[in-house]
Chain A
Amino acid sequence: DIKPAVVYDQAGKFDKSFNEGVYNGITRFTKDTGIQVRESEPKNEAQVEQNLRRLAQRGYTPIVAVGFNMASAVSKVAKDFPDIQFSIIDGVIDQPNVQSIVFKEHQGSFLVGVLAAMNSKTDTVGFVGGMDIPLIRKFGCGYEQGVKYVTPNATVIQNMTGSTGAAFNDPTKGSELAKSQFSKGADVVFAAAGGTGIGVYQAAKDEGKLAIGVDSNQNHIQPGTMLTSMVKRVDRAAYKAFEDAQAGDWEPGLEVLGLSEGGVDWALDDYNKGLITADMKAKMEAVKASIVNGDIKVHDYMSDSTCNY
């Protein structure tokens, strides 16, 4: 058996979002295989590297590192432990024992943008990002394209919560930003902001507007006002890393997961099925197919740092 481990980023494994997705993945892995996964939640920069190093020392492999913040620590430790397999989610490191897993968030965001536009009565929708970084702009840009695809003259109000890591964990500000967007006419808001999103969904609930979750399927958080979630299958990524390692198929290098690979998607479940009409569902399936077969090309913000599509 393998001896897998995971290191969450500083938001912690219960952020209801990104880290929690990974957590769900490994719980499933443990349930399916009976193999325990060693978890670690460092609380500061120094501990990230310290914990990675200690896990490596103790022979844990593969070690999944969650989040772009881990990149520099993983790259340092991976150098010192060439025999240990590292998988980093959302970061790219070019080293022989590191697997980099990234997602085509723009495609998933496009999808939920389409759904948002279909549900907006005011033709104004909102986007609340977490930390202002290219990755989050990538979400925003994909979303905007999706909205405009349905309603070309729609307004997309975009706000970022902040410019530091704290922006992923500030529900108060999330709620204020959402309220300010509602007051400007938005009636659907997409939060790509980690824990900050909780405040956004709450505000939507309180004001009777619709919200779109991110990363994990967050539809259950505010049933009735959660239109859908843009799921980014980090759970599947983590699961797959362990599964491959178990089977001896783990390979270093870049892995890009998009719609076609099932890496991103929109969520439809019991919590939001009341909000989704059959028409909408059909349209969503059609758009999805077009993206997969290349008829719709969604621009990736990170490819040129602009949102010109």
Chain B
Amino acid sequence: MFETLILILDATLRVSTPLILAALAGLFSERSGIVDIGLEGKMLGGAFAAAAAAAVFGSAWIGLAFAILASVGLALIHGFACITHRGDHIVSGVAINTIVAGLTVTLGLDWFSQGGQTPALTGDARFTSIVFPFAEQIADVPVIGLIYSELLSGHNILVYMAFVFVPATYWIVFKTRFGLRLRAVGENPHAVDTAGISVALVRYRAVIICGILCGIAGAYLSTAHNAGFLKDMSAGKGYMALAALIFGKWRPVPVLFACLLFGFLDAVAVRLQGVALPGIGEVPVQAIEVLPYVLTVLLLAGFIGKAVGPKAIGKPYVKERA
């Protein structure tokens, strides 16, 4: 039983990593007042760029760099529309998701002639597991051994990065000058502007950070968790991250736990396929799959607390009297 639990948690870490990265990405963007339903598209774009570059250059790290470039590029388009031209954030996000969904397949087919997929990645073109020292040796020590060797050890570098980014995000958002300005610009951009700070610049920086994190999330999908790009491989994870962001009320640590919860549900769903639970019978997988979405709706409805976002979120900043 304990072992099963550890293994499910182990899978949870793997599955929630892209959610954590994307949700933190969303946190930066939305804290600055820019709604981002384009997380999905940026992740997908990043995944494609990572796999394509890794396939060509044979290096996962180069893949990661390209993923970040691609995703930041998309983030800048979002910024250009929402910040510079005061466009509707949601429309812009939908546009980016749509463009990327089509463009990845189109370019993929043109470049690799494999029906829109990238070639399968092997060796250095993928991020591989890092085994902690002595993981083998202490694997048999009860409890600790399993936790250390199965749960903690043996993930790829991006997983560890995602978890390091959580306290880092907390520190940046709440303890630095940039964080202060970021939060201020999401609450009252006029105040920031009159304090002599460029609202646009702060927001652009926020969306760029968002792009970087989404790029890493995308690279994780195609060069770490999987070995290559597949059409639509983000499969709604961007929306799920958005849900986690709301669930975590735009705060890094609660957001982490929301992602872990969603990842856990996913891991459990995989293992519950066709399994009859005592007393309940066979739980339809679909019922577990929809849980994160249902939970988010319930949260939004105020049944499990109220989710109040940054005050100026989604509102184009116009230098005008109210």
Contacts and interface: CB of A to CB of B under 8 A. Distances in A.
Interface stretch (B183-191, B224-232, B238-246, B290-298): B224-232
Interface stretch (B37-45, B68-76, B247-255, B266-274): B266-274
Contacts of A159: 273-274
Question: Which of A132, A158, A169, A172 has the largest count of B CB atoms less than 10 A from its CB?
Answer: A172
B211 interface: no
B230 A177 contact: no
Contacts, number: 60
Contact of A176 (B14, B230, B274): B14
Interface string B58-72: 000000000000000
Contacts of A183: 3-4, 7
B115 A41 contact: yes
Contacts of B116: 12
A68 interface: no
B226 A172 contact: yes
A162 B285 contact: yes
A177 B285 contact: no
Contacts of A15: 115
A184 to B, nearest CB: 8
Given A13-B115, A15-B115, A180-B7, A172 B225 contact: yes
Contacts of B271: 180
Contact of A206 (B4, B128, B233): B128
A14 interface: yes
A198 B11 CA distance: 18
Interface string B271-286: 1011000000000010
A176 B226 contact: no
B228 A176 contact: no
Contact of A180 (B129, B270, B274): B270
A160 B273 contact: yes
Given A162-B285, A180-B7, A183-B7, A173 B115 contact: no
A195 interface: yes
A176 B285 CA distance: 15
Interface in A35-68: 41
B117 interface: yes
B14 A160 contact: no
Contacts of B98: none
A199 B226 contact: yes
A267 B249 CA distance: 54
A275 B256 CA distance: 44
Contact of B225 (A13, A132, A169, A175): A175
Contact of A14 (B3, B7, B115, B128): B115
Contact of B120 (A169, A170, A221): A221
Interface in A172-206: 172-173, 175-177, 179-180, 183, 195, 198-199, 202, 206
B11 A14 contact: no
A176 B11 contact: yes
A290 B226 CA distance: 40
B115 A179 contact: no
Nearest to B114: A14
Contact of A179 (B4, B11, B128, B285): B11
Contact of B230 (A169, A175, A206): A169
A206 B129 contact: yes
Interface string A216-239: 000001000000000000000000
A41 to B, nearest CB: 7
Interface size, A (range): 20 to 34
B215 to A, nearest CB: 18
A163 B233 CA distance: 18
A175 B285 contact: no
Nearest to A206: B129
B158 to A, nearest CB: 14
Contacts of A173: 270
Nearest to B14: A176
A171 interface: yes
Interface string B109-130: 0000111110010000000110
A178 to B, nearest CB: 10
A40 B225 CA distance: 31
Question: Which of A12, A13, A132, A163 has the largest count of B CB atoms less than 10 A from its CB?
Answer: A12
Contacts of A14: 113-115, 117
Nearest to B221: A172
B11 A172 contact: no
B7 A176 contact: no
A12 B115 CA distance: 6
B260 to A, nearest CB: 16
Contacts of B11: 176, 179-180
B270 A177 contact: yes
A271 B273 CA distance: 33
Contacts of B199: none
B15 interface: yes
Contacts of A132: 274
User: Top 4 closest A-B pairs, CB basis?
Assistant: A12-B115, A14-B115, A14-B114, A183-B7
Given A170-B235, A175-B226, 7 more contacts: A159-B274, A172-B233, A172-B235, A176-B267, A198-B226, A202-B226, A206-B129
Interface of A: 12-16, 41, 132, 158-160, 162-163, 169-173, 175-177, 179-180, 183, 195, 198-199, 202, 206, 221
Interface of B: 3-4, 7, 11, 14-15, 113-117, 120, 128-129, 221, 225-228, 230-231, 233, 235, 267, 270-271, 273-274, 285
15 contacts: A13-B115, A14-B117, A41-B115, A163-B285, A171-B226, A171-B230, A175-B225, A176-B11, A180-B7, A180-B270, A180-B271, A195-B230, A198-B228, A199-B226, A199-B227
